Structure 1
Amino acid sequence: MGDINCVRTTEERISSDPPNLPALEAFNDAIANSDLHDLKTNGCYFTWTNKQEHGDRKWMRLDRVLVNSVWLTSFPDSFAEALTAGISDHSPLIVSLPSPVQKAPYSFKFLNCWSQDKLFLPLVHKEWAFPVHGCAMYKLMKHLHRLKNPLRQLHKDSYSGISDRVKKLQQRLHHCQLQLQQDPTNSHYITEEESACNDYCQIRNVELNIAYQGAKDLDIKMGDASTSYFFSKIAARRNYSNITKVLDLHGNLCTEAKDISDAFIDYYTSLLGFEEKVTDFDTQIMLNGHSLSGAESCNLLAPITPQEVKAALFSIDSNKSPGPDGYSAGFFKAAWEEIKDSFTSDVMDFFITGKLLKENYKFEGLGNATYEFLERDIRILVQAKSSQNIATLHSSNLICSAKQKSQGMEALSPSLRFHNLIVLKIPRHKHGI
């Protein structure tokens, strides 16, 4: 913590002098090699100035707080604040260690490593064999909801405490190898070492897979970094994403967790909670632009095919963030042979009827707020870069917008998450704000 006398990026300086790129690169390498991360910092962005006249004034972010992964694990809600410099040329830094905030229970999230378990497909098959009556969309949603508890139990039985298990297996491997050093030709010790090595590699790969999925550092390929790197990335990202204070609609500074939450709800309610008349577009202007040919128009109206549904789904990276129900694209791809008929029927039924479920559905991890799936008119807008590829875009590049039928924003079904569009209804306060 203090004056490092070097910036990390060119954006951290305002100066007419050219940046020292070798020093910048060396500084970033030293931080990475030391497993250090910038602590989340509020307040002044630039922490040093030479206080010269306007034309010669320089600004740089030289003062910072660097912490390691142990700190981030021990004090996940900690943050720094850079105050105004006053008569000094450097901004004072204050590190705060707020009282731990009671976190909401972790919501369900599908881990890709589950799909490699020998029990995964039998669990999916058993659930999909369970009779559910209703439309295609309801049946898919019901199956996904019922499958969560078996998957949670699978995680508890085989994947809980994964880091501790890795350490124990590493110690076992170490012990076996020490025994071999004492008796290198002992066949029993050789067999034990081979077994211990296989068990360790298998469980360590699972740990790395979980860490990689959580870190989402797509610039790093599997195997290029240790699990400690990925877990430190997760801790750093969680610290950086913490919101420690915010101004509400009335300009009041909110620092308590509940006040911050209420400020966000009030803000987005004021944005999304009211209908607003919009100006109709000029059809004459539209006609003066490029128009689709008859064949192109027919392509836009062509029925969605099962092959297009599968192609759209499988084009999504398995490590992408899941939808509100916790299921990522990795689940649907891994269980495709078991669920393909149900999933495809759901999507195609939507494009045929243009309607979603009228169901109450509580998203896990969002408290007791209830979100409604309301029947609505759906407008499908297709964006194409050129007329040549219009015929192939009506499944993979869909943007769905819903006509409001009630106050507030409505919610699109989680079964449409592969279109990367989820809109949540924000309940209106009783006083109408």
Structure 2
Amino acid sequence: MLSLSRRSQEAWIIAGDFNAVVNLDEKRGIHPPNHSSMTEFADAIQSMGLIDAGFSGARYTWCNNQNGNAQVWARLNRVLMNSSWANRFSLFRVEHLPCSKSDHAPLRLAFPSLSPPKIQKTEEELEIVDSRLQIDPIEALCQEHLQIKQKLEELELKEEVFWKQKSRNAWLDEGDRNTSFFHTSVTERTRRATIHSITLDDGTVLTNQEDIKVAAVSYFQTLFQEEEVSFTADFLCFIPHCVLPQDNASLQFPPSREEVYSALKSIPKDGAAGPDGFSASFFIECWNNVGKDVHKAAKAMFAGMISQEQGAFIKGRYMAENIALAQEALRDINRKARGGNLTLKLDLEKAYDRVNWSYLKQALHKFGFNAKSV
């Protein structure tokens, strides 16, 4: 298989029972998977440049059909594909069907309809003109051949830029032309992000895409819906008044054009494009033309609102330090202390999903922000 993967550029897949898993999540039972077996299998997949095709349906494909603690589940059956297959059949998917007579679940491969891209059509046009040119090399055909060739080069360049921006891989050297790599990166991420089925709270499984869309919209509408929160002014007394009048003035003072350009240059050029489809590279290279508009659109940044006691957004501090601090506190929770020890765990499930705007505005005013800044 390693020899085939190295010498063949054709699209191909390999599927079946590999009798191995690649991580701990792919097995459930009293005995954990063998670490050396997992490592060897993962190394083999990587050395052949293969990609796991993913799946929809049940997580595991094999069961030993035992009862109680002796029952073992594992994902032993899978489909692996090379990059050529991933690029050619980007919407191809694998479905885990229910086990019936066998202890292994059957796999179903689903292929959507495909339409030829513009590049393929242009290549076909170039091939036709090439054939005619070999028979009768007249000037008109030579000009047509040159025009189609230039068109093909432009389409290939546009495709490369498009997939490079969508792939979010900014670590390749500038000038590397590897559209296949970028396309594979996006295809693999899209495959992982595609939702083929969801299970509702009542156990209902939805597989129809329209039903999934309706359920997703309903879920997030409920999640982001503002709830009534009762609070008194006593809660606000703990907020320090730390924003001075000169701070409010600086917040309302627009940044200079040099400051905006300096901030823009700190963004990776090959990072993901924004909603408008342009990456930072476009604004940097075209600054002389678009700089004025970007400068007008820039907003003043909040300053002085980050507490020195917090672990994130402070130079030299890391959020992981909070985890280490919590572990250290819990380890000493039984140590005798005057008044005893107390650990309080807060449920912050929706802390950043939604806010109560009335309370937020009052809190900002308490910090010292004036009405214009708020």
Residue 268 in structure 1 maps to residue 285 in structure 2: no
Give the Cα separation in 1 of the matches to 2:26 and 2:205: 27
Residue 312 in structure 1 maps to residue 329 in structure 2: no
Deviations 1:245-294 (A, max 9, x none): 3346776543333332222222222222445326468345445xxx8697
Residue 66 in structure 1 maps to residue 80 in structure 2: yes
Give the Cα separation in 1 of the matches to 2:243 and 2:356: 28
CA contact (8 A) 2:21 2:38 kept: no
Over 3 Å counting, the alpha-carbon distance change for 1:329 and 1:218 in structure 2 is closer
Give the Cα separation in 1 of the matches to 2:51 and 2:238: 53
Give the Cα separation in 2 of the matches to 1:272 and 1:2: 43
Residue 93 in structure 1 maps to residue 43 in structure 2: no
Deviation at 1:64?
0.5
Alpha-carbon RMSD across the aligned residues, in angstroms, is 5.1
Counterpart in the other structure of 1:210: 162
Give the Cα separation in 1 of the matches to 2:159 and 2:212: 34
Give the Cα separation in 2 of the matches to 1:95 and 1:37: 15
Over 3 Å counting, the alpha-carbon distance change for 1:90 and 1:222 in structure 2 is farther
Over 3 Å counting, the alpha-carbon distance change for 1:242 and 1:200 in structure 2 is closer
Letter in 1 for 2:96: A
Deviation at 1:47?
2.5
Gaps of at least 5 residues in structure 2 are 1-14, 130-149, 316-351, 359-374
1:333 to 284, 296, 313: 284
Counterpart in the other structure of 1:144: none
When the two structures are superposed, what TM-score results if normalisation uses the length of structure 2? 0.55
Residue 38 in structure 1 maps to residue 52 in structure 2: yes
Counterpart in the other structure of 2:206: 254
Give the Cα separation in 2 of the matches to 1:266 and 1:62: 35
Over 3 Å counting, the alpha-carbon distance change for 1:165 and 1:244 in structure 2 is same
Per the alignment, in what secondary structure is the counterpart of residue 163 of structure 2? helix
Per the alignment, in what secondary structure is the counterpart of residue 36 of structure 2? coil
Counterpart in the other structure of 2:46: 29
Give the Cα separation in 2 of the matches to 1:390 and 1:48: 46
Over 3 Å counting, the alpha-carbon distance change for 1:327 and 1:207 in structure 2 is closer
Task: State, as a whole percentage, how many aligned pairs show the same letter.
Answer: 24
Q: How does 1:4-403 map to 2 (within 5 A)?
A: 4-13=18-27, 15=32, 17-20=34-37, 22-32=39-49, 36-50=50-64, 59-68=73-82, 71-72=85-86, 75-85=89-99, 88-97=102-111, 161=118, 207-218=159-170, 220-221=172-173, 226-247=178-199, 252-277=204-229, 279=231, 282-286=235-239, 301=251, 303-306=253-256, 307-348=258-299, 351=300, 382-383=305-306
Deviation at 1:221?
4.6
Per the alignment, in what secondary structure is the counterpart of residue 35 of structure 2? coil
Give the Cα separation in 2 of the matches to 1:251 and 1:70: 38
Give the Cα separation in 1 of the matches to 2:355 and 2:284: 28
Give the Cα separation in 1 of the matches to 2:60 and 2:227: 41
Higher Rg: 2
Count how many residue pairs are aligned between Structure 1 and Structure 2. 282
Over 3 Å counting, the alpha-carbon distance change for 1:166 and 1:299 in structure 2 is farther
Letter in 1 for 2:277: G
CA contact (8 A) 2:169 2:270 kept: no
CA contact (8 A) 1:31 1:37 kept: no
Q: How does 1:393-432 map to 2 (within 5 A)?
A: none
CA contact (8 A) 2:168 2:270 kept: yes
Gaps of at least 5 residues in structure 1 are 103-159, 173-197, 353-378, 393-398, 406-433
Per the alignment, in what secondary structure is the counterpart of residue 282 of structure 1? helix
Give the Cα separation in 2 of the matches to 1:30 and 1:167: 35
Give the Cα separation in 1 of the matches to 2:286 and 2:244: 39
Deviations 1:312-339 (A, max 9, x none): 3332223333333333333322221112
CA contact (8 A) 1:39 1:65 kept: yes
Per the alignment, in what secondary structure is the counterpart of residue 272 of structure 2? coil
Letter in 2 for 1:244: H
